Amino acid sequence: MSKADWSAIEALDPPHLEQLFKEDDGRVARLSLDVAGIHFDWSKTHLTRDAIAAFEKLAKATDLAGKREAMFAGKHVNVTEDRAAEHTAERGEGAEESVAKAGALHARMRALIDAIESGAFGEVRHILHTGIGGSALGPHLLVDALGREDSRYDVAIVSNVDGVAMEDAFKRFDPKATLLVIASKTFTTTETMLNAASALQWMTEGGVEDPYGKVVALTASPDKAIEWGVDETRVLPFSESVGGRYSLWSSIGFPAALALGWDAFQELLDGAAEMDRHFRLAALHENAPALAAFADLFYTQVKHAETRAPFAYDERLRLLPSYLQQLEMESNGKGVTVEGKPVGRPTAAITWGGVGTDAQHAVFQLLHQGTHLVPVEFIGVIEAGDTLAGDHHRQLLMNMFAQGAALMSGRANDADPARSYPGDRPSSTLLLDALDPHTLGALIAFYEHRVFVNAVLLDINPFDQFGVELGKEMAKAADKGGQSFDASTDDLIARAFG
């Protein structure tokens, strides 16, 4: 196979999923893996021995191993921005210098947390974190997933520039007991800057004597934070080479580290590091991120699936689908190769999804009988998060297992087509032993590396995001006024603002 020769993959034509099971007793064992407290099962996808072999060849031709090592070594794999992508160094897996730098910045973060806990900031009961995109989705996921029982503070993560979001937090919090956390890699994002200014004003009006003294900045642009008015001692920097949607491991994870405690944050990093080592060392046919990416690519390239849908069968992971939307779509929603040529094939599937069992009663109709092929991913946790006497958790998991089985088997009803289920609909299942920081760290790192494998095999750069710039620029121009757009946009602006 020459470089990026997809012909063997495009020629794959596996039979019905049930047939694949009939043909191969060892299918479940061969397509299941256990890594870092997570059981992965791809047996209900159409991955076959031939498919895996064809993807392994493509991985070789596109130098996946070399590019993976280049990423871990801190080489400038983000070619369009001439930067490294060093999120793994944050968890101790990367170039020696970068790991040391990340460790020093973590120590600084930990010292600030110790100071807050020892009362150096006065009474702090509430954490008001403002950031957007990667500066909000990661910390929000962590706090929501792990902070239900153990959170030592009341945390609000406000991202939307709609003032309603900020006002909701103001209603809940006492300004005198609030720590304002401004999270922005660039420290220029208009939504975050406006939210931060409004929060500071609320603290001032609420009688906080030195509101700037209660502000912490999380950023890769410390000079800009200092210029904004944050004291240098309360700026927690992180490296420019950590991308926004890969940044929860850096100081962007501060609200989680503060609310859950340092030990929990360290466990999160350790779990991710365990997945890093697995990704780096395991052969591709038993490598979780690689197998997941092979299945992704089989469905997007061969079966022309336009979307994929993760469903978290655990209330604590309800924010996982929106976290994955940014990770997958901002990373791999690209149209050109790393050399800037048209990529010529579909790139990232559209990620959507939801929470089980709610989604079963809302969108699963389409999954079972609709005309779109949607690879589904189930994410469940063996250890229950609740303590209720009823059988909530058992029902939750049984529903998840039943949905995967039903999607696969279907049920023919020749007499009544409306009641017929075609089946042969793929799903993968991720079953966590427990939802703890270690396992969650490993889970998130798994998704990061899966995105990377997809990108390498598609020859695209997962680490830039120029697609978001044009809209930002035009919003700024519109806000300034005096600029004409198209007739429709001009009319809408005139209707809203006269």
Catalytically active residues are: 330, 361, 472
For residues 289 to 328, the per-residue mask of contacts with ligand F6P, x marking binding by CB under 6 A and - elsewhere, is ----------------------------------------
Measured CA to CA, the distance from residue 95 to residue 448 in angstroms comes to: 18
- Compute how many other C-beta atoms are within 10 angstroms of the C-beta atom of residue 412: 12
Asked if residue 139 binds ligand F6P (CB under 6 A), the reply is no
Measured CA to CA, the distance from residue 72 to residue 95 in angstroms comes to: 7
Closer to ligand F6P by CB, 194 or 336: give it.
194
DSSP state string for 196-228: HHHHHHHHHHTT-S-GGGGEEEEES-HHHHHHH
Shortest Å distance, C-beta 238 to ligand F6P: 10
Task: Pick the binder of ligand F6P from 48, 62, 88, 189 (CB under 6 A).
Answer: 189
Shortest Å distance, C-beta 189 to ligand F6P: 3
Shortest Å distance, C-beta 212 to ligand F6P: 20
Cα 299-354-315 angle, rounded to 5 deg = 135
3 state DSSP class of 14? coil
Closer to ligand F6P by CB, 224 or 392: give it.
224
Asked if residue 192 binds ligand F6P (CB under 6 A), the reply is yes
Measured CA to CA, the distance from residue 202 to residue 270 in angstroms comes to: 38
Instruction: Judge whether 248 and 142 are in contact, CB under 8 Å.
Output: yes
For residues 410 to 449, the per-residue mask of contacts with ligand F6P, x marking binding by CB under 6 A and - elsewhere, is ----------------------------------------
Task: Pick the binder of ligand F6P from 134, 211, 271, 289 (CB under 6 A).
Answer: 134
Of residues 244, 268, 252, the one with CA closest to residue 326: 244
Measured CA to CA, the distance from residue 293 to residue 375 in angstroms comes to: 12
Shortest Å distance, C-beta 166 to ligand F6P: 16
Per CB under 6 A, the segment of 83-91, 130-138, 142-150, 270-278 that binds ligand F6P is 130-138
Of residues 115, 122, 240, the one with CA closest to residue 187: 240
Closer to ligand F6P by CB, 248 or 290: give it.
248
Number of residues that bind ligand F6P (CB under 6 A): 14
Per CB under 6 A, the segment of 118-126, 132-140, 430-438, 449-457 that binds ligand F6P is 132-140
For residues 245 to 264, the per-residue mask of contacts with ligand F6P, x marking binding by CB under 6 A and - elsewhere, is x-------------------
Instruction: Judge whether 296 and 308 are in contact, CB under 8 Å.
Output: yes
Measured CA to CA, the distance from residue 181 to residue 140 in angstroms comes to: 13
Measured CA to CA, the distance from residue 103 to residue 249 in angstroms comes to: 11
Q: Name residue 86's amino acid.
A: E
Contacts of residue 147, defined as CB under 8 A and 6 or more positions apart, other chains included, come to 155, 256, 259, 260
Task: Pick the binder of ligand F6P from 51, 89, 128, 132 (CB under 6 A).
Answer: 132
Asked if residue 409 binds ligand F6P (CB under 6 A), the reply is no
For residues 460 to 489, the per-residue mask of contacts with ligand F6P, x marking binding by CB under 6 A and - elsewhere, is -----x--x---------------------
Shortest Å distance, C-beta 284 to ligand F6P: 29
> Number of H helices and number of E strands within the chain?
20, 12
Asked if residue 184 binds ligand F6P (CB under 6 A), the reply is yes
Residue 432: both structure tokens together? 């966590």
Closer to ligand F6P by CB, 291 or 460: give it.
460
Task: Pick the binder of ligand F6P from 74, 139, 175, 244 (CB under 6 A).
Answer: 244
- β-pairing, 350-351 with 178-183? unpaired
Q: Is 26 exposed, middle or buried (0-12, 13-18, 19+ CB in 10 A)?
A: exposed
Q: Which helix (H) or strand (E) holds 182?
A: strand 178-183
Per CB under 6 A, the segment of 49-57, 128-136, 283-291, 435-443 that binds ligand F6P is 128-136
Shortest Å distance, C-beta 374 to ligand F6P: 26
Asked if residue 186 binds ligand F6P (CB under 6 A), the reply is yes
Asked if residue 241 binds ligand F6P (CB under 6 A), the reply is no
Q: Which residues bind ligand F6P (CB under 6 A)?
A: 132-135, 184-186, 189, 192, 244-245, 330, 465, 468
